[in-house]
Amino acid sequence: MVLMLRKHAMKSPVLLLSWTALSLLLLGVLLLSPVIGAEEAAAKRRVDFNRDVQPILSDNCFACHGFDANKRQAGLRLDTSEGARQRLASGKAAIVPGKAEQSELMQRVTTPHAALQMPPADGGKKLTKAQIETLRRWIEQGGEYAAHWSFVPPKRPALPPVKDEKWPLNPIDRFILARLEKENLRPSSVADRQTLIRRLSFDLTGLPPTVAEVERFLADKQPGAYERLVDRLLASPRYGERMALKWLDLARYADTHGYHIDSHRDMWRWRDWVIEAFNRNLPYDRFAIEQIAGDLLPQATLDQKIATGFNRNHPINFEGGAIPEEYQTAYVMDRVDTTATAFMGLTVSCAKCHDHKYDPITQKDYYRFYAFFNNIKEKGLDGQKGNAAPFIKAPLPGQQEQLDATGKKIADIELAMKTRSAETAPAQAAWQATALETLQKSSALTSGLAAHYGLDEKSARHTHDVTYMQPLGVFSGKPERVTGQFGEAVQFDGSSYIALGDALDFDRSDKFSYGAWVKPTGREAMTVLSRMDDNAGNRGWDMYLSEGKAFVHLIHQWQNNAIRVNTKMAAYEPNQWTHLLATYDGSGKAKGIKIYVNGKPAEIEITHDTLTDTIRTSAPAHIGRRNPERGVQGNH
């Protein structure tokens, strides 16, 4: 820029500018004008609480002046309008609507005195000049609070006016165009058809279009070709797979258990339910309800029960040394946190330990929510092999048809057997009376008895086909002979046991009972009687003691084809003689098992009831052992 000063007759200085200088000056004015205009516009623009103010307060103030009453300082609460306008002990209010200079909040964030300044200097927080100006303008404009958008029911907005009324093809286009016009921008030109079908295919199916699909779209010259393409892609099975991806991530879907053993589990039936839900356009309310509580719906279908797999996607632990109760609690908390995140878009996990500092969730609220998910009968340590209990059978539609057909055949055969039994009942009764009379004359103790082990080395005494006093099997270890409840008993040390060979060969359809007098020395896990093969999925049966309770297992393959029941209350006390007896009615159902303690039926609980196949095994029967880790310590 060239400046020349000359004196004129008027004796006043005159500024002369060259054309170059004038051009630069005009350019500077033009460039400066939008900046000045932007500042003026910002000053006039209404401050939005959620967009502009809430982040400032949340990041700098709520830790000490927020929702958590236990952490709140000076009785000041800034997360609500009522708290911010309430008179403090000093007689002032943090926010005086329309009067920033009289508001204690503004005085504290602008004061030069370190002892009075907010946020405190030692807290590591400091407001910028822009943030302070935002707070000032917000208070001057009334200091109005607004609920977070996620807590406000959505309302359909009015369609915005646009200059180019011809461009929008649907209501959403008007919102896009309105914003573009506000920014003085024009929409991009329409893409060519090859680009359109490629974009749409990736968006809706995650896959590129085939050559045939592209040619079909290019050949469709009739109006509505694009809409027909959308309909075809929405009808594709790949659409559900594409849409399900993000939901599977959010619901923490996995095919292993997650902890260090990380064994396999089958959750793909739930995954397929999600995919199918998208493909059949399941309404969102049903999508939510069935995943959270499908099993609680009246007459719940198999699909609705499968949907609740959402609640079982959490990691499951079987780590040695882990505390079952700790991990059972962790599983429930996982369900609470995931449900809140997935369905509410809200983080609630902070409230495990204290009232949430930034959202209106109290610790009491958290554990009320927790209670809804704390009723699944699962174990804290589980999942070493396959799915963790509880679980259900989930046959595919074709498999279900086969099962139904087989079930009908079984029902027809059972009906024929009942009919025949009714016809032969008189003859059967007469024969039984004669046989019973003969049996009673020989020995009253042998009726219905398969074997009896007195553990006192008496020789066998045979009556008809029943062995009353079986000779003892092979002793292993050093079981000691001691005085028993009746006669002699054998004391086991945890490593000793008696192998009985091929005795006590029972199957799922047999009716049988078994029991013993026991005197355990403690409450550690131990086996009384068993015939079970660990190498074949624990196939067989047993009577098992743990933590004072008696357990009965009938297993084809643990855990997905098995029965397990146990006494609800303690069935024995250490160092006391107790008689335990289990009976089974051959029904294949857990309710067909009863446990008697000293001759009285015990109240039982059922944890597994999925047995459908044989429990017969070639493994030998044992007294005092199921496997090397489940010996008995005490007397039989």
pLDDT tens, residue by residue, 582-629? 999 999 999 999 999 988 999 999 999 999 999 999 888 888 877 655
- Shared domain for 196 and 285, answered yes or no, is no
- Shared domain for 583 and 608, answered yes or no, is yes
Low-confidence ranges of the chain (pLDDT < 50): 1-39, 443-446, 458-471, 630-632, 634-635
- Shared domain for 590 and 466, answered yes or no, is yes
Q: Exposure string (b/e) for 573-595, b if CB count within 10 Å is 16 or more?
A: eeeebbebbbbbeeebebeebbb
Single residue among 148, 181, 200 that ends a domain in this structure:
148
- 537: which DSSP letter? T
Counting every residue written for the chain, the total comes to 636
CB 261 within 8 A of CB 319: yes
- Shared domain for 331 and 469, answered yes or no, is no
Give a yes or no: residue 182 inside a domain.
no
pLDDT confidence of residue 304: 96
- Shared domain for 329 and 281, answered yes or no, is yes
Domain that holds residue 326: 245-372
Give a yes or no: residue 29 inside a domain.
no
d(CA 547, CA 522): 9
Q: Rounded to 5 degrees, what angle do the CA atoms 539, 545, 551 make? A: 55
Q: Which helix (H) or strand (E) holds 517?
A: strand 512-520
Record the tokens describing residue 508, joined without a space.
Answer: 């799922």
pLDDT tens, residue by residue, 336-360? 999 999 998 888 999 999 888 777 8
Give a yes or no: residue 427 inside a domain.
no
Single residue among 345, 372, 399 that ends a domain in this structure:
372
- Shared domain for 487 and 623, answered yes or no, is yes
Q: Which sign, positive or negative, has the C-alpha torsion 30, 32, 36, 41?
A: positive
The distance from CA 476 to its chain's CA centroid, rounded to whole angstroms, is: 46
Give a yes or no: residue 587 inside a domain.
yes
Give a yes or no: residue 381 inside a domain.
no
- Shared domain for 525 and 626, answered yes or no, is yes
Single residue among 120, 148, 176 that ends a domain in this structure:
148
d(CA 206, CA 428): 70
633-635 and 488-493 strand pairing: antiparallel
Give a yes or no: residue 303 inside a domain.
yes
CATH of the domain at 98: 1.10.760
Say how many domains are in the chain. Answer: 4
DSSP, collapsed to helix, strand or coil, labels residue 252 as coil
d(CA 58, CA 542): 60
Give a yes or no: residue 35 inside a domain.
no
- Shared domain for 231 and 249, answered yes or no, is no
Q: Where do we find the tokens 């007294």? A: 623
- Shared domain for 266 and 368, answered yes or no, is yes
d(CA 503, CA 453): 11
- Shared domain for 197 and 72, answered yes or no, is no
CB 464 within 8 A of CB 487: no
- Shared domain for 256 and 226, answered yes or no, is no
CATH of the domain at 522: 2.60.120.200
Give a yes or no: residue 13 inside a domain.
no
What pTM was computed for the model? Answer: 0.59
d(CA 631, CA 174): 76
d(CA 376, CA 312): 10
Record the tokens describing residue 47, joined without a space.
Answer: 């401050």
pLDDT confidence of residue 438: 64
CB 370 within 8 A of CB 332: yes
- Shared domain for 218 and 254, answered yes or no, is no
d(CA 388, CA 367): 25
